[in-house]
Amino acid sequence: MSKINYSLKVKPEETSRAIGHELHISPKKSMEICKQIKGMKSSQAKSFLEDVIALKKPVRFRRYNRDVPHRKGKGIMSGRYPKNAALGILQTIQHAEHNAEYKGLDPDVMFIEHTAAHRGQIIEGRMPRAQGRATAKNKHTTNIEVILKESEE
């Protein structure tokens, strides 16, 4: 297991941060969610992710959108409902809010200053096939980092 560092230097007295290490979620779907929730208030981002898990609001796919259908009546061209990735990012945001409470900051007025998803370790596996052969069946993991900052308002 290697040491994971944050990709942004911040002042520790006005920010709170958390890392989800080696989560068993898709890196591509996680990147799309992280792009969409960046800049939101933490409460707004949590409600958005809960709606994604409940299949009420789709996540807009901008980069990894090949063969992704549009969502009729939702106002976006291509999108999906990545439940597992949304659940992992939601838990990471909750951890960052708990860290803010521990530091004495108010998590209700904090917004997501930085969020990123990085590819993690690949867990290699094999699926047995006929005639003594095997096919690779790998599991991809993702490292999620979330930094919350108090708004000046």
Arithmetic mean of pLDDT, 116-144: 95
> In this structure, is residue 9 part of a structural domain?
no
> In this structure, is residue 5 part of a structural domain?
no
Range of the domain at 44: 16-150
> In this structure, is residue 6 part of a structural domain?
no
> In this structure, is residue 11 part of a structural domain?
no
Is the pLDDT confidence value at 1 over 60? no
> pLDDT digit string (tens) for 100-111?
999 999 998 999
Predicted TM-score of the model (pTM): 0.89
> In this structure, is residue 83 part of a structural domain?
yes
Q: How far apart are the first and last CA of the chain?
A: 40
CB atoms within 10 A of CB 54: 11
| Domain total in the chain | 1
Tell me the CATH number at 107: 3.90.470.10
Arithmetic mean of pLDDT, 123-142: 95
> In this structure, is residue 25 part of a structural domain?
yes
| Structure confidence at residue 153 as a pLDDT band (50, 70, 90) | low
Backbone angles phi, psi at 43, to 5 degrees: -70, -40
